[in-house]
Amino acid sequence: MNEEVKTVLDRALTDQRGSMLVVGIPMGLLLTAVTYHLIGVCDAALLAELLRFSADKTAFESAIWHSRGMNVVAMLNVLMTSLSAVWASWNVLQNSIGFVGTMCKAPVPTECNGHTEAEAQAIWHQMDSHQNDVKTWLGNQGKAIADLQQVTSSVTPSIALNQTVRNGSGPTGDWLQYAVSISTSLIPDDNIDAVTGQSVKANYPRLGVATSLPALPLEAAPATAYCKNNVIDLVPDVSEALATRLGGHWTLDTLTTIKYDWKANFKLSANSMSCLGFAPNNHAAGIWFPAKYSSQQYHEYAFAVWGFAFGKNTRATAIDNGVKVAAGTAAAFTPPDVFTASQAEFYYDCGGQAWSKCQDSALLSPGWTARLRRVRKPSAPMKGLFNALAIPASFTSGLPTNVQNVVSSPDALWNRSQDLIH
């Protein structure tokens, strides 16, 4: 091969390598951008998944705290019922012992099984002399229980909020910026009317420490309702225990001997009494009246809790800037803040029955629990939910700016939340 041909071949190969290099550089940049894009997609998917877990955890944990508060109130109601049963039983038993005493008079004391009228009278006088002491003691205990119910009602929503905020703020990793729970119990009675557009505060005040503070969906229940439904059934057993403690069980045996159905008659006697007569100013806790019925749709949100999780965009920004570099552009783009929402509720386990069947007895046993639900936009009366929340300034001032911006725009928040796939 002569020198001229060799020179031509070398020049051709050089031109081909140059062309391949010119084509290879853009291809390499393109593949780099595709790699960054795939990483960004994966990060976005992971961010969405982790935010969902955080929102679920926030909503569910808050609902659990609410259910704990409801169970505490339910147990306090049980104690209130027990005190009422003691008072009713005391009075019914005292009257019955006086009746038995008349049966033991000579010359026909045969039904008293060897006991005398004097024994019955001694027990009667013993009960009569301690009646005021019993009444005072029961009244003080009832007042303490009623006060504790009010404190529990107001404190529980705050505990739920503080607990979820503490778990969802601070050093929460590369993904989660902030998490917060919102519940309708955070709306104080002073703001209820403005939110619902109805006179709820005056007609159905909730059971709390003050109308300016949050409260569970509870209200002061009429004592008579609890008397009729619960206390009466306890009277026979409590009466029997009292009679035994006072050494007068033989009086009940005497009533049984003459075929007097004292258990049924004790219930009838208690039915005509005021079960909370020892403390007429006290009250039991009942379900907030609007939360019982569906006509105003309050039941759909009275027990609802929402959880919001806000993600960090630092990783997304880094990935996006990497794509920009790979694409040969210097303009940086900051992705918008992302957040997601979850919903939970605290509810009473009715054993498969409808809420309407067990709502009157839902605060007489600790059957409250929590569950996650599909996210639903609050009904029209709840449109101003966040505007009505009485969150302390010390709390709102500590919120990140982007969280404050979202929370301060209820319409935008709910419009965004209802478009989420749940």
Tell me the chain's radius of gyration from C-alpha atoms.
Answer: 36
Buried b (16+ CB within 10 A) or exposed e, 5-32: eeeeeeeeeeeeeeeeeeeeeeeeeeee
- DSSP H helical segments within 197-299, as ranges? 200-203, 223-226, 232-245, 249-257, 262-271
The average pLDDT across 237-266 equals 88
Residue 22 exposure: Cα atoms within 13 Å on the Cβ side? 6
Q: Say what the pLDDT of residue 286 is.
A: 87
* Spatial CA neighbour of 199 closest among 213, 187, 189, 188: 189
In the predicted structure, residue 397 carries a pLDDT above the cut 50: yes
- Cα 73 to Cα 20, 66, 154, 348, 422: the distances in Å are 79, 11, 11, 13, 33
The average pLDDT across 203-214 equals 86
- Cα 80 to Cα 73, 136, 286: the distances in Å are 10, 15, 12
Helices 3-103 and 314-326, packing angle to 10 deg: 170
Residue type, 256: T
Q: Say what the pLDDT of residue 230 is.
A: 73
Q: For residue 75, what pLDDT band results from cuts at 50, 70 and 90?
A: very high
Distance CA(126)–CA(124), nearest Å, equals: 5
Task: Find out whether 220 and 287 touch, Cβ atoms under 8 Å.
Answer: no
- Quote the pTM value: 0.78
Q: For residue 335, what pLDDT band results from cuts at 50, 70 and 90?
A: low
123 is written with which tokens? 């027990």
In the predicted structure, residue 41 carries a pLDDT above the cut 80: no
284 secondary structure, DSSP code = E
Q: Say what the pLDDT of residue 172 is.
A: 58
* Spatial CA neighbour of 282 closest among 84, 65, 54, 40: 84
The average pLDDT across 342-354 equals 86
Per-residue pLDDT of 284-314, as tens digits, reads 888 888 787 655 456 667 888 888 888 776 6
Residue appearing with tokens 């969802």: 168
CB atoms within 10 A of CB 93: 27
Per-residue pLDDT of 101-124, as tens digits, reads 887 775 555 567 778 888 888 989
Mean confidence (pLDDT) of the chain: 76
